[in-house]
């Protein structure tokens, strides 16, 4: 895993970043959007997970691309790392304190991150 040379850890507030990510997902009709607040857990790898899904590999990639484009343009922030863009069944975008998981529906149900981190604080968002 190599870190992007453009990766920047921005001091932006988590709420602003998370809201921009969720808006981006909704713009591309991402479904079943969940934010998990992991800050109260001792073993959490990050502060927040944002999880969503798309109906096709093309939509999964479009959601991930929109997130990165919006966060870059609005917040001047780049992910420290992205993974999975080639197959587009599970794209992970790491913004340090928030990690975004964009899944193809069947892949999401297989890995079931919500169950693994079910002791976090969940917020569900409507699909548009």
Helices then strands, counting H and E runs in the chain, come out as 4, 6
Residue 27 neighbours by CB under 8 Å, 6+ apart: 66, 70, 128
- By percentage, how much of the chain surpasses pLDDT 90? 84
14-123 CATH: 3.30.460.10
**pLDDT band per the 50, 70, 90 thresholds, residue 12:** low
Residue 64 neighbours by CB under 8 Å, 6+ apart: 82, 85, 88, 91, 93, 100, 102
pLDDT of residue 58: 95
Closest to 100 (Cα-Cα) out of 113, 116, 87 = 113
Q: What mean pLDDT value characterizes the chain?
A: 90
**pLDDT band per the 50, 70, 90 thresholds, residue 59:** very high
Task: Note the pTM of the prediction, 2 decimals.
Answer: 0.88
């Amino acid at each position: 895993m190599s870190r992007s040379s453009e990766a920047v850890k921005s001091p932006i507030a988590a709420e602003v970043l998370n809201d921009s990510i969720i808006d981006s997902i909704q713009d591309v009709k991402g479904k079943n959007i969940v934010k998990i607040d992991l800050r109260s857990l001792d073993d959490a790898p990050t502060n927040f997970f944002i999880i969503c899904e798309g109906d096709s590999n093309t939509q999964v990639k479009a959601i991930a691309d929109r997130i990165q484009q919006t966060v870059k343009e609005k917040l001047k922030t780049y992910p420290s790392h992205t993974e999975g863009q080639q197959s587009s069944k599970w794209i992970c975008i790491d913004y340090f304190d928030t990690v975004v998981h964009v899944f193809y529906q069947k892949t999401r149900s297989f890995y079931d991150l919500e169950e693994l981190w079910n002791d976090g604080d969940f917020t569900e968002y409507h699909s548009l």
